[in-house]
Amino acid sequence: MTANLLNFDAKGLTDFCIEIGEKPFRAKQLLRWIHQSSAIDFVSMSDLARSLRDKLTDLAVIEAPQVISDHVASDGTRKWLLSVGTENAIETVFIPEVSRGTLCVSSQVGCALACTFCSTGKQGFNRNLTVAEIIGQLWIANKLLREDLRQVSNDSPDSARLVSNVVMMGMGEPLANFENVVMALDLMLDDHAYGLSRRRVTVSTSGLVPAMDRLRERCPVALAVSLHASNDALRDHLVPINKKYPIQELLAACRRYLAVAPRDFVTFEYVMLDGVNDTALHARELIQLVRDTPCKFNLIPFNSFHGSGYKRSTSENIRIFRDILMQAGYVVTVRKTRGDDIAAACGQLAGQVKDKTRRTTTINMQIQ
């Protein structure tokens, strides 16, 4: 059986090289070819011995998810639909800006946490993504963006860092696929692979407290938490995992995480839902809630999808909410909606999920 080398981090690739009778240093060469040069065949790896290239051709592959569709929004946001087999597909989004390029990466086919305002959650859940399917999203983005750059520029695209930031904010709950996500994070940070700074890689979680503690010990990158409510009663409804890990437990985990985090604050994400969580009272309650937790806020205007049952807060309510938080001394950003004309905005990613939870059947009955 052939091995997909995209499934291996540095240690795994070293072990593979030893297993096939090669020196451990070959792993670093392979990492550079695979992740920095986006190589797809072994014949082109010119600094490897011919005998090794032949051996790899027989024993290994470099296989990322297949691109089903590639859409570019009016604002330049780009969304790829990627096949991960058995009628399932995931979505990956690239958001270009003047000073950076951010890739939003998926970690699961669907999501089991069922946050009520999220399109992915409405699709149900099928399975965790493999390491190859997670890091393959970054591999594909780099490869396709470089190919585009070659067509319009004489500069060397192979040395260009088109993806400068990665956010684990696509489909799925990253910490529910802990081991595979951490191996992919290790590759993102590895200087022989993508060489990203810990400050430029963000894991977003709905609040799986034990896994947050494990991430702190294994791979402390920047942390974002999907808070979305100012009290437990409301969060129990919007983010059902709160019933297992209520807000005070979540905040305590955030404070523990900050002891080793690359940033000295946690980013709290807060979707703005009209008449649900967006009043001045909610804002003041939020201030009291997080007073002992160093943080900033990212307010996210709700992006609608079929059957959501929610509406976006008015611009005026978002402004008032933001100003109350800022007057209390917090850094607050209001996320600019990007890619909503191709359903690539926050909360809109759905992909194609062959649901194993029967949640989609229940939802469809409710909508009818």
Please give the residue range of the domain that contains residue 28: 3-61
Residues 130 and 14 in one domain: no
User: Per the residue annotation, which of 17, 22, 91, 254 is the catalytic one?
Assistant: 91
pLDDT of residue 236: 98
- First vs last C-alpha separation in the chain: 47
219 is catalytic: no
The structural domain count of the chain equals 2
How high is the pLDDT of residue 304? 83
Sequence-distant (6+) residues with CB within 8 A of 131 are 6, 7, 8, 9, 180, 183, 184, 187
- The series of mean pLDDT values per 10 residues for the chain, 368 residues long, is 95 97 97 96 94 96 96 90 91 92 96 90 89 98 92 60 92 97 98 97 98 98 98 98 98 98 96 97 98 98 86 97 98 80 50 60 34
By the 10 Å C-beta count (0-12 exposed, 13-18 middle, 19+ buried), 202 is classed as buried
Residues 114 and 101 in one domain: yes
Q: Are residues 207 and 302 located together in one domain of the fold?
A: yes
Looking at the fold, whether 76 and 38 belong to one and the same domain comes out as no
Same domain assignment for residues 32 and 103: no
Q: What is the CATH number of the domain that holds 136?
A: 3.20.20.70
Q: Which of 104, 118, 254, 346 is catalytic?
A: 346
| Residue 36's CATH number | 1.10.150.530
The CA-based angle 138-143-149, given to 5 degrees, is 125
Q: Within this chain, do residues 79 and 227 fall inside the same structural domain, yes or no?
A: yes
Q: What is d(CA 115, CA 365) in angstroms, rounded to the nearest whole number?
A: 18
- Backbone phi, psi, residue 180, to 5°: -65, -40
Q: Is the CB of residue 103 less than 8 Å from the CB of residue 227?
A: no
Instruction: Provide the pLDDT for residue 155.
Output: 58
Q: DSSP 3-state assignment of 85? A: coil
Residues 161 and 38 in one domain: no
Pair (119, 182) in one structural domain? yes
Q: Are residues 127 and 267 in the same domain?
A: yes
Q: Is 111 designated active site? A: no
Reduced to 3 states (helix: H, G, I; strand: E, B; else coil), residue 336 is coil
Both 99 and 54 in one domain: the answer is: no
b (16+ CB within 10 A) / e for 32-63: bbbbbebbeebeebeebeeebeebbeeebebb
Tell whether 264 and 328 lie within a shared domain: yes
Domain endpoint, select from 43, 61, 79: 61
Same domain, 127 and 43: no
